[in-house]
Structure 1
């Protein structure tokens, strides 16, 4: 038995090759889950969408129970309520009947390399094209502003042109981070999403962070994921927080400072995103000199004199005939050229177009995933354009 088979086992009734999925979402815990965003995201997906378990990892092989300490209840004179932790692979169906995988559970403490190989094997067996790692981090951000989500990926096309606010940082590794590197080394597309949680709320449930992750997943994959429950919970939490802040001058001042910092940073990013590099005076001078040199070269060319003489001869021998020939040739050439791209004025109504034809997007056809470009959903909307 291989290392991968020992760690993960499929349910007896599951044929992984028969699954119609292209996305794997992971809510594996790490050393921090600020605002409990991963927990809330998993809870939202599994409570609002149809799903079924596909298989599980053997946690006795990969989890240090002394570190995780699962809860147990002592009731007067006996223990009860202990639930064995699990890392479970689910098949989830979204609101448009699209299927995706969800891998959920605690962060493994042991055998990281074996666990990574097991997940890579699951990806190969199910033909998953994109793996999404979700996480949340405490940041100096106010709860009165939209949650920012930092993206990182195995290749820049998956980040959709967004720039990270972070530079180069060395930090203690987590299993999701290590897994992302291993999958990228095997040319598998990985997208990481990190929701920014107000640091003063990192130990509390913060549904807005889970909503931010959900919106980012929808934008990237086109999956139809509901957010009604998260939106309602977020409204309740914001009202509770605002009530506490309003009753504390210290909290009000802190939130106000964070708002000013947030607005300043985002305003600067907007300016930088619209920044246009203008040519310098030296660049303009060099371009002008090059243009003048080209003009001098053209004026000294003998072909210009010959063209003028031939034009005069043509005018003396008959302007009408020459003009007619040029007009006919131009029309013929123009028609042939336009015919290549299939413009409507150059073909009859009963003739099929010889051009490129309508695009798949315009015709509503699904071309399927593009192996050369960034990830695109197999089905669903085109929300990744936004």
Structure 2
């Protein structure tokens, strides 16, 4: 279970490092007299990596369905490790000119391809190895790994912005999180090469001459659309609250970088602790019930919570982030397992990966850029709250139509 879940820590640590240091990266790779333009350019590259995730889902989903979950997990972690370390070694625009942003985009696309296979493959692996009555708890470990990775990136942000001056962070300090990714990648590689393939007795899929992609479309097209819509609210909430908000707190609320990182780290700690509790709760009350409560809460409270964040008062900001963390924990802990339960094993990795990553590409990757545009171009500091709430309401409609397979054997 550790080997299956820990890869997400690497993947999301790397993605978080880019999001947290996006303002610095924007100045180094997309210099402009307008800081908002540089920031939007950096977030556009963040979004570009997400648009590779559906392709990663097809590639690694095919590997996972045809050659086993272990093969997909080992390859995805290796690609992410190489891409992340290389970003830390890149020359800046001042040194290499246009070549610098081109190389940055290429490596970010490699990261996006990797993430497209990692998260959903690990969710399928964990759910398939779990007893039906504990599938929610075990499946939530994929999300624990992801949130722990983002928290690790945030903790490193606290340390760097506390020990280094803004000039030192801008000159070379931003490279440190990317270079350290190779250590985590090496540990994951060792763990995964020794892991069992997983699965439970009698779980072998029926013979099928179709490719996993063709089988997924033929068997589960409607459920793939439903899964896509179910994830929209989570995609917006997660990447606005836990990636964009650090930049928002510094630029809009005027908080020091170290304070913004500290508040975010506390919220991430609450999220990480709440996820397994929510996964276990879904085994008791059902996936659909908990998903409906979480998305309904986001639909109702996202705008009021953003109004608290806009007050510029650290105590109120932290309270709002903690409430967001609890609601997002109930959503993110349960959704991967619920999606795994929707599809048959022969095409499960592919179906989950495409539907999940397509919504993440459309909304998750563009969420920080959309929030920046709402706040700066529309001059609407609380607008991102309505953006989250509206998409959560759309997801709630899809969740209410899903079949709840909690506690039942996988198809």
TM (norm. structure 1) is 0.24
Structure with bigger RCO (C-alpha 8 Å, 6+ apart)? 2
Greater helix content: 2
Greater strand content: 1
